[in-house]
Amino acid sequence: MSKFWSPIVSRLTPYTPGEQPKISKLVKLNTNENPYGPSPKAIAAMAQEIGDNLRLYPNPDAEPLKLAIAKRHGLSPSQVFVGNGSDEVLAHAFQALLKHGAPILFPDITYSFYPTYASLYEVEYRAVPLAEDFTIRVDDYLGQGEAIGGIIFPNPNAPTGCLLALDEVERLLAGNPDRVVIVDEAYIDFGGDSAIDLVTRHPNLLVVQTLSKSRSLAGLRVGFAVGHADLISALERVKNSFNSYPLDRIAIAGATAAMEDDAHFDRTRNAVIASRSKLADELASLGFEVLPSAANFVFARHPQHDAAGLAASLRGDGIIVRHFTSARINQFLRITVGTDEACGALTDSLRKHLA
Ligand SMILES: *Cc1c(COP(=O)(O)O)cnc(C)c1O
């Protein structure tokens, strides 16, 4: 606290990202990074971009990247917005599309950045409890008209990994025609059907995705949103009142090449999906309850062992996972799906601890 701080800064509770430890030997299964490297074509495109051209500003609209995303989904570039990580895209969306002077809705257990953006932009919210089995109950989000400011949720949800089926997403959209519904699909490539296919039918839908997870580019900071051109213009208006060049030349080149490399994308995500199913089976055989995951992590609890104790024991073996302390989920561990070798180190360590 300082007398120089504005009142809003004094009231903020900033988001706490998962730890990025300095020690490189750790088995790092705490922040849902992809264990496989980015597309070699993306790396080559970025290397190519490093030169005299860096004295010039990048394309303010990141046109090649918007085109690549639009092409992949059969859309027009006017239906695509890009930003410095999907976190930035989400932040702009709170300001541009969710702030209507009425509380927005999101699940009680969800991405913990949402309440942070809500406080930054002074948007009220109501946390809607997930069902007992940690799934989203669409009925709880229906019939509230303009008494709510909008709806946002991740699909698959984080940190549960649970997927809401596309027909249920559509029921939620159809039940809220006068408010924007944001579907945060950070993990959709690991096991669900994207709502991008619903964008043409539902002008109130904004789908947000990231290159951080399924494209292995967390370090590059690129995310995007897809929706009706009117929603995209709102985001552009905020972006152009904030930073004209959120993506640098290297990011535009690398992200464009990554979006165009289907072979690498399919190979790496299929490897993660295969490892996830092995990891879930192994954990179940150790007595864990594992929520069904459509993401690149699993969310699991052991009926007889305290989650904080398990996390500490893993850390003793150089393995880090994420443990959240909020009430309904404080007995769960969120474990990123690593390589089979990393997952094996995790299950070996747990087996030793449980014995
Ligand atoms: C990882 C994650 C993001 C943020 O991704 P970046 O593009 O790296 O900013 C957004 N939403 C959810 C639910 C995530 O898990």
Nearby residues of 119 by Cβ (< 8 Å), 6 or more positions away = 11, 12, 13
Rounded average pLDDT over 221-226 = 98
Ligand 1 atom closest to 86 (CA)? 7
Domain shared by 32 and 74, yes or no: no
> How many angstroms from the chain centroid is the CA of residue 161?
11
Task: Convert the pLDDT of each residue in 5-15 to its tens digit.
Answer: 999 999 998 98
- 7: in domain: no
Domain shared by 286 and 202, yes or no: no
Domain shared by 142 and 226, yes or no: yes
The proportion of the chain whose per-residue pLDDT surpasses 70, expressed as a percent, equals 100
Whether residue 84 has its Cβ less than 6 Å from ligand 1: no
CA 87–ligand 1 middle distance (angstroms):
6
User: Which residue has better confidence, 205 or 327?
Assistant: 205
Domain shared by 66 and 206, yes or no: yes
- 11: in domain: no
Buried b (16+ CB within 10 A) or exposed e, 252-280: bbbbbbbbbbeebbeebbebbbebbeebb
Please identify, among 242, 260, 278, the residue that sits at the C-terminal boundary of a domain.
260
State residue 25's pLDDT score: 82
CA 74–ligand 1 middle distance (angstroms):
24
Q: Is the pLDDT of residue 23 over 90?
A: no
- 333: in domain: yes
CA 251–ligand 1 middle distance (angstroms):
17
32 and 336 Cβ atoms separated by less than 8 Å: yes
Rounded average pLDDT over 230-237 = 98
151 and 176 Cβ atoms separated by less than 8 Å: yes
Whether residue 184 has its Cβ less than 6 Å from ligand 1: yes
* Alpha-carbon span 341 to 215, nearest angstrom: 21
How many structural domains does the chain have?
A: 2
Please identify, among 190, 225, 260, the residue that sits at the C-terminal boundary of a domain.
260
Other residues' Cβ atoms within 10 Å of the Cβ of residue 23: 8
Q: How many helices (H) and strands (E) does the chain have?
A: 11, 12
Ligand 1 atom closest to 88 (CA)? 9
- 216: in domain: yes
* Alpha-carbon span 114 to 105, nearest angstrom: 10
- Residue 334 belongs to domain with CATH number: 3.90.1150.10
- 10: in domain: no
Domain shared by 110 and 214, yes or no: yes
β-strand pairing of 181-184 with 205-210: parallel
pLDDT band at 354, cuts 50/70/90? very high
Mean pLDDT (the chain, rounded): 96
153 and 107 Cβ atoms separated by less than 8 Å: yes
Domain shared by 116 and 198, yes or no: yes
Task: Convert the pLDDT of each residue in 161-174 to its tens digit.
Answer: 999 999 999 999 99
CA 86–ligand 1 middle distance (angstroms):
6
Q: In DSSP terms, which residues pair with 305 in a beta bridge?
A: 302
Q: Is the pLDDT of residue 22 over 80?
A: no
CA 115–ligand 1 middle distance (angstroms):
14
296 and 276 Cβ atoms separated by less than 8 Å: yes
Please identify, among 260, 285, 301, the residue that sits at the C-terminal boundary of a domain.
260
β-strand pairing of 223-227 with 289-290: unpaired
State residue 18's pLDDT score: 79
State residue 24's pLDDT score: 72
Whether residue 282 has its Cβ less than 6 Å from ligand 1: no
State residue 20's pLDDT score: 81
* Alpha-carbon span 13 to 190, nearest angstrom: 31
Task: Convert the pLDDT of each residue in 246-290 to its tens digit.
Answer: 999 999 999 999 999 999 999 999 999 999 999 999 999 999 999
Domain shared by 181 and 302, yes or no: no
State residue 100's pLDDT score: 97
Whether residue 246 has its Cβ less than 6 Å from ligand 1: no
Nearby residues of 189 by Cβ (< 8 Å), 6 or more positions away = 213, 214, 265, 269
Domain shared by 197 and 156, yes or no: yes
Which of 34, 65, 87 for a ligand 1 pocket mutation test, highest count of atoms within 8 Å of Cβ? 87
Whether residue 336 has its Cβ less than 6 Å from ligand 1: no
Question: Is the bond preceding residue 159 a cis peptide, omega within 30 degrees?
Answer: yes
DSSP conformation class of 164: P
Q: Whose CA is nearest to atom 1 of ligand 1?
A: 186
Whether residue 185 has its Cβ less than 6 Å from ligand 1: no
State residue 242's pLDDT score: 95
C-alpha torsion 89→94→96→99, nearest 10: 180
Rounded average pLDDT over 314-323 = 96
State residue 246's pLDDT score: 98
Rounded average pLDDT over 331-349 = 97
Whether residue 111 has its Cβ less than 6 Å from ligand 1: yes
pLDDT band at 21, cuts 50/70/90? confident
Give me the domain span that covers residue 150. 40-260
- Residue 89 belongs to domain with CATH number: 3.40.640.10
239 and 246 Cβ atoms separated by less than 8 Å: yes
31 and 187 Cβ atoms separated by less than 8 Å: no
Whether residue 46 has its Cβ less than 6 Å from ligand 1: no
Using alpha carbons, select from 169, 175, 173, 166 the residue that is nearest to residue 142.
175
Domain shared by 256 and 349, yes or no: no
Domain shared by 162 and 274, yes or no: no
* Alpha-carbon span 95 to 164, nearest angstrom: 26
- 126: in domain: yes
Rounded average pLDDT over 101-106 = 97
State residue 68's pLDDT score: 98
Whether residue 235 has its Cβ less than 6 Å from ligand 1: no
Q: Whose CA is nearest to atom 14 of ligand 1?
A: 186
Domain shared by 161 and 272, yes or no: no
Whether residue 112 has its Cβ less than 6 Å from ligand 1: no
User: Torsions phi, psi of 298, nearest 5?
Assistant: -125, 155
DSSP conformation class of 136: -
Domain shared by 173 and 110, yes or no: yes
Q: Whose CA is nearest to atom 11 of ligand 1?
A: 186
* Alpha-carbon span 336 to 33, nearest angstrom: 7
* Alpha-carbon span 291 to 168, nearest angstrom: 19
